[in-house]
Structure 1
Amino acid sequence: MSQSRASKACDPCKRRKVRCNGQSRCQQCTHLGLRCLYTSPATSTIRKKKLLRGSVINECRNLGYLHSTGTEPTETLASRVVSVSIPASIVSHPNPSFFHEFLYEYEKYVFPMSPVILAKDVERMITQMNESRDAASFVYIFAAVTLNLTRGEPVQEAPATRERIATLLTRSLEHRRPLGFDAQPNIVSVMTSLFSEMCSVGLRRLDMGFFYLREAISLLYMLHAHSDEALSEIDMPERAQLQRAYWECFIHERFTALTYNRPPCLSALQGLPDHDPTLPEDVEIGFNHNINNFCLVDREFLQYWLGEKSGVGSEWIENKQLQLEDNTWHRQVSKLPGMMQADLIITRHWLRTLTWQIALSNTLLSSSPDSSLLLSLSFPLRLSNQLRQFLVGIPRDMVGIHGSGILEKLFEIANVITDVVLHFPHARGEETVQRIHDIVFLKNFVYSFAGFQTLRPAMLTRKFEMIRDKYPEIREIELLL
């Protein structure tokens, strides 16, 4: 007698289109070690309707159905980023249209600054999510990092965005496949870890961010990306892709060392990534300029910033400031798209501010009018004016698109400039007006970003209030700006 067909099949059997015996834990799922779930027909129908092409925001809300009732506070959901379990099977995913909606913004805003995984490759991985945990993990983190960099919402709406990013990051971590004894990582696993670092830092989970950055670096070492000999055996364009991944980790690690005082381990490669004709020309040029920016943060710079500063001399300070002031560099960068200009030029101003702080910590600066401008106590005021002139001429969203990293740089620049204004002798006449214009503009600019509030700028706010007391003229100028 033929075996009767079960009246109701479990979800995994439905997706795999195989016969299900309908038991509470069916034979198929027991054999394969899958999670056996049954969705009621009514729920399934409703869910299909919900997963028809819709807004990104509504889809993101639906992502939490496995983890949250929707009533938990943001902190509870975000805290799950640091402790998640890896399921035995891949659970159902949102409709592919949800992920497709991120592709345009990824290609326009994320890929130019992280030019490793092409949008067409992401699109291919979206189609593989049900068959490949690695693909599913990357697709979730691709959506998270795109959302992290492209949703500049008002302060009151920012918590909802943070929760969506945390949910996507959590789903990515759940689908990650453990690296087996004989397993070999690939470029996708490297970028999954690096994007996890970026999202963790954006959520202010700095320790987790450092963990995933070091994980990405470890995977690069497993791929021998640090070895010129090993790289020479890899064909193009994979070789250039691996080199760009290495350099991006180098950039992130240098930034992390300077901002959060974490020890770096990567050395610079012998040269820039090999030319890749598949990359847009401005993306390749902009990325190479970014590499050159952080190559100026050499071992000596790191030693002076993180450790012993007694060896710092006036000659080193002046030479480093001259390298950072290169007029030829500025002319080349001015031809790039505004988004790249914003990152590159603000980074240069940030590095010049850090170099000035190294000099200050070793008492190499002077207020004498006869001293070198590069060794002057008032040098940050000059940088403030230059930065203002640049920011006035560039759309604000070209700055905000870079996320928390660029806000950290602006925070440091503003913090140093306010200190100088507070402690430098009271200026007179035109110099006073110019100084106040610059400081008020910078204050209004940095505080206009919702993400700036996550940096807890209370101390900076107090400094601005002290400046208002020192310069009564500021109140009149504030009304004009």
Structure 2
Amino acid sequence: MPDSDRRTLRACDSCKRRKVRCNGQSKCQQCTHSGLPCTYTNTSSDRPRKKNVRRGAVIAECRTLNLRPGKSATLLDHEKPSYMPSSNTSRFNPAFFFDLLGDYEQYVFPMSPVIPADEIREMIGQMDENKNIASFVYIYAAATLDLTRSEPVQEAPGTRDRIATLLTRSLELRRRPTLDSHVSIVDVMSGVFTEMAFCTLRRPDLAFIYLREAISLLYMLNVESEEALANLDPMQRARLQRAYWECFVHERFTALTENRPPCLGPLKTHPDHDATLPPDVETGWQLCIDNFRLVDREFLDFWLGGRSEVTADWIEDKQRHLEDDEWHCEVSRLPQMQQADLVITRHWLRTLTWQIALSNTLLSSSPGSSLLLSLSFPLRLSNQLRQFLMTIPRDLVGIHGSGILKKLFEIASTITDVVLNVPHASGDETVRRIHDILFLKEFLFSFTGFQNLWPEVLTQKFQLIRDRYPEIKEMELLR
């Protein structure tokens, strides 16, 4: 019987937990591929258990991490955090990392469904033995702190400093590729989480470097090769596909917000079905992919380059795809946190599509023109957005971080421009516009620090609208 067909009499701890086939070798195939520590124990009594972790350890640990003032060459040239980890700091309270797992599973994993919480739990137990694993645990903690706070971290210096500290420590511990390096999916997600942390710290230049690093590692894993993926365990194959789409989504968002040219093309299909994923997470991730697949090469060419070849037919076709009722119906069945990201992203893409049409003078204000090519089209979107946001708790919007605030800012800026430039409305139309504007203004500025992210621009536009619509003052008093 070939060695590959023999049934092993033992399985390592990681394979047991993930319920995948283990070949029983000292460094098994599954752990080698996933970049996990491969250990064998006879009992599970030594495994860290969530119920043994004292609640509130996150707060306590953030205050007692043995961190002291120092300098680091890895991070920020301006806006350095108030404390940095010493380069020889190796002791920490594992409870800090364990206690973040619940938040990670609830808020981070549904939007980045690649490394499950159970595997991170194992990695926390192996931090002293493997620097690269320790590096990932630090950056997982940074990403979790970032994406589980409903206010921008620029207005929470304590959280900002903790994220910067964890990011710095992760970079200090991270291995660099060498001749004998074996890339894993953990390395890819380290790059993605690092990109997210740098974005949060308002360093998009450094964020782009680490996003490109993650993409380079994907190429080393041959994720775009169907032949290479065919030889993998189905769960591992689906996970690699999700990691690819994660990088694709981040790269398309960066292209639209920072004008960075992308290099990844879409895979032919959604990720394979993975029975280990909660159904809501799998469906939500597919719908997120659907959003960014609409940002195809033609869309990017028009957005980043010349728009002389944009046609009315292209604009209408793109807007119809973005208005897809079936997509919206599927989204409505998801938890509200996922709905918030998906629906706001789609409104943002519709706004950008309208801007492409505007720049090529394809829009019209005449009564007989297509609604999708109307100068007042964003006002229709503003009403739809208001109706949606009224059904979603505010915290479930803010928890998506600065990325979603960027999208809302772009939407609000476009709507205010339209209100200021289209003919003055009267009667019921005026009342509806004012209600939409007031709601959007109050919603955006309810996030502490929103004005510090984009200071005067939106405030000035709202003031001009108040001057144009005197009725606003009276309605503001009634709210």
Q: What's the offset of the Cα at 1:79?
A: 10
Q: What's the offset of the Cα at 1:60?
A: 2.0
Q: What's the offset of the Cα at 1:182?
A: 1.6
**Is the CA contact 1:251–1:291 (under 8 Å) kept in the aligned structure 2?**
yes
Q: What one-letter code is carried by the residue in structure 1 that aligns with 2:101?
A: L
Q: For 1:228 and 1:422, locate their aligned partners in 2 and report how far apart those are by CA, in whole Å.
A: 52
2:387 is paired with a residue whose SS is helix
Residues 67-125 of structure 1 show CA distances to partners (whole Å, capped at 9, x for unaligned) of 449xxx995534999xx99x5xx732321111111000000000000000000001000
Residues 142-167 of structure 1 show CA distances to partners (whole Å, capped at 9, x for unaligned) of 11111001123488951221111111
**Is the CA contact 2:147–2:400 (under 8 Å) kept in the aligned structure 1?**
yes
Q: For 2:223 and 2:234, locate their aligned partners in 1 and report how far apart those are by CA, in whole Å.
A: 14
Structure 2 counterparts to residues 32-43 of structure 1, below 5 A? none
Structure 2 counterparts to residues 190-201 of structure 1, below 5 A? 190-201=188-199
Aligned equivalent of 2:156:
158
**Is the CA contact 2:152–2:448 (under 8 Å) kept in the aligned structure 1?**
yes
Residues 334-358 of structure 1 show CA distances to partners (whole Å, capped at 9, x for unaligned) of 0011011111110110000000000
Residues 391-437 of structure 1 show CA distances to partners (whole Å, capped at 9, x for unaligned) of 00111111111111111100100010010011111111111110010
Provide the aligned C-alpha RMSD in A.
2.2
Aligned equivalent of 1:18:
none
**Which among 109, 112, 133 is matched to residue 111 of structure 1?**
109
Q: For 2:152 and 2:286, locate their aligned partners in 1 and report how far apart those are by CA, in whole Å.
A: 33
Q: What's the offset of the Cα at 1:59?
A: 1.9
**Is the CA contact 1:152–1:450 (under 8 Å) kept in the aligned structure 2?**
no
1:450 is paired with a residue whose SS is coil
The percentage of counterpart residues that share the same residue type is 65
Aligned equivalent of 1:62:
64
Q: What's the offset of the Cα at 1:58?
A: 3.8
Q: For 1:454 and 1:278, locate their aligned partners in 2 and report how far apart those are by CA, in whole Å.
A: 41
**Is the CA contact 1:254–1:264 (under 8 Å) kept in the aligned structure 2?**
yes
1:237 is paired with a residue whose SS is helix
**Is the CA contact 1:77–1:167 (under 8 Å) kept in the aligned structure 2?**
no
**Which among 269, 272, 275 is matched to residue 273 of structure 2?**
275
Q: Does 1:360 align with 2:358?
A: yes
Structure 2 counterparts to residues 233-248 of structure 1, below 5 A? 233-248=231-246
Q: For 2:79 and 2:455, locate their aligned partners in 1 and report how far apart those are by CA, in whole Å.
A: 24
* Structure number, greater radius of gyration: 1
Q: For 1:186 and 1:206, locate their aligned partners in 2 and report how far apart those are by CA, in whole Å.
A: 25
Q: What one-letter code is carried by the residue in structure 2 that aligns with 1:329?
A: W
Unaligned runs of 5+ in 1: 1-50
Q: For 2:440 and 2:54, locate their aligned partners in 1 and report how far apart those are by CA, in whole Å.
A: 44
Aligned equivalent of 2:176:
178
Aligned equivalent of 1:349:
347
Residues 3-52 of structure 1 show CA distances to partners (whole Å, capped at 9, x for unaligned) of xxxxxxxxxxxxxxxxxxxxxxxxxxxxxxxxxxxxxxxxxxxxxxxx99
Q: What one-letter code is carried by the residue in structure 2 that aligns with 1:77?
A: K
**Is the CA contact 1:407–1:451 (under 8 Å) kept in the aligned structure 2?**
no
> TM-score of the superposition, structure 2-length normalised?
0.84
Q: What's the offset of the Cα at 1:270?
A: 1.0
Q: What's the offset of the Cα at 1:177?
A: 1.4
Structure 2 counterparts to residues 37-116 of structure 1, below 5 A? 55-63=57-65, 65-68=67-70, 75-78=78-81, 91-116=89-114
Residues 151-206 of structure 1 show CA distances to partners (whole Å, capped at 9, x for unaligned) of 23488951221111111111111111122112021011110110000111011111
| Cα distance change, pair 154–308 in 1 and its aligned pair in 2 (3 A) | closer
Aligned equivalent of 1:336:
334
Residues 201-246 of structure 1 show CA distances to partners (whole Å, capped at 9, x for unaligned) of 0111110111110010001001111212211122221111110000
Residues 242-263 of structure 1 show CA distances to partners (whole Å, capped at 9, x for unaligned) of 1000000000000000011111
When structure 1 is superposed on structure 2, of 444-453 and 417-426 the one drifting more is: 444-453
Q: What one-letter code is carried by the residue in structure 2 that aligns with 1:56?
A: V
> TM-score of the superposition, structure 1-length normalised?
0.84
Q: For 2:244 and 2:81, locate their aligned partners in 1 and report how far apart those are by CA, in whole Å.
A: 29
**Is the CA contact 1:155–1:450 (under 8 Å) kept in the aligned structure 2?**
no
Q: For 1:199 and 1:154, locate their aligned partners in 2 and report how far apart those are by CA, in whole Å.
A: 12
Aligned equivalent of 1:146:
144
Q: Does 1:416 align with 2:414?
A: yes
**Is the CA contact 2:154–2:449 (under 8 Å) kept in the aligned structure 1?**
no
**Is the CA contact 2:341–2:404 (under 8 Å) kept in the aligned structure 1?**
yes
Number of equivalent positions: 423
Aligned equivalent of 1:433:
431
Aligned equivalent of 1:311:
309
Q: What's the offset of the Cα at 1:480?
A: 2.9
Q: For 2:223 and 2:131, locate their aligned partners in 1 and report how far apart those are by CA, in whole Å.
A: 24
**Is the CA contact 1:251–1:294 (under 8 Å) kept in the aligned structure 2?**
yes
| Cα distance change, pair 366–208 in 1 and its aligned pair in 2 (3 A) | same
Q: What's the offset of the Cα at 1:54?
A: 5.2
Q: For 2:223 and 2:271, locate their aligned partners in 1 and report how far apart those are by CA, in whole Å.
A: 11
Q: What's the offset of the Cα at 1:62?
A: 3.5
1:151 is paired with a residue whose SS is coil
Q: For 1:354 and 1:168, locate their aligned partners in 2 and report how far apart those are by CA, in whole Å.
A: 35
Q: Does 1:394 align with 2:397?
A: no
**Is the CA contact 1:381–1:417 (under 8 Å) kept in the aligned structure 2?**
yes
Q: What's the offset of the Cα at 1:64?
A: 6.6
| Cα distance change, pair 362–209 in 1 and its aligned pair in 2 (3 A) | same
**Is the CA contact 1:136–1:172 (under 8 Å) kept in the aligned structure 2?**
yes
Aligned equivalent of 2:15:
none
When structure 1 is superposed on structure 2, of 169-178 and 310-319 the one drifting more is: 169-178
1:65 is paired with a residue whose SS is coil
Q: For 1:146 and 1:74, locate their aligned partners in 2 and report how far apart those are by CA, in whole Å.
A: 24
**Is the CA contact 2:149–2:398 (under 8 Å) kept in the aligned structure 1?**
no
Q: For 2:248 and 2:455, locate their aligned partners in 1 and report how far apart those are by CA, in whole Å.
A: 28
Aligned equivalent of 1:129:
127
Q: For 1:190 and 1:406, locate their aligned partners in 2 and report how far apart those are by CA, in whole Å.
A: 23
Residues 346-391 of structure 1 show CA distances to partners (whole Å, capped at 9, x for unaligned) of 0110000000000000000000011000000000000000000000
Q: For 2:101 and 2:139, locate their aligned partners in 1 and report how far apart those are by CA, in whole Å.
A: 13
**Is the CA contact 2:82–2:161 (under 8 Å) kept in the aligned structure 1?**
no
Q: What one-letter code is carried by the residue in structure 1 that aligns with 2:58?
A: V
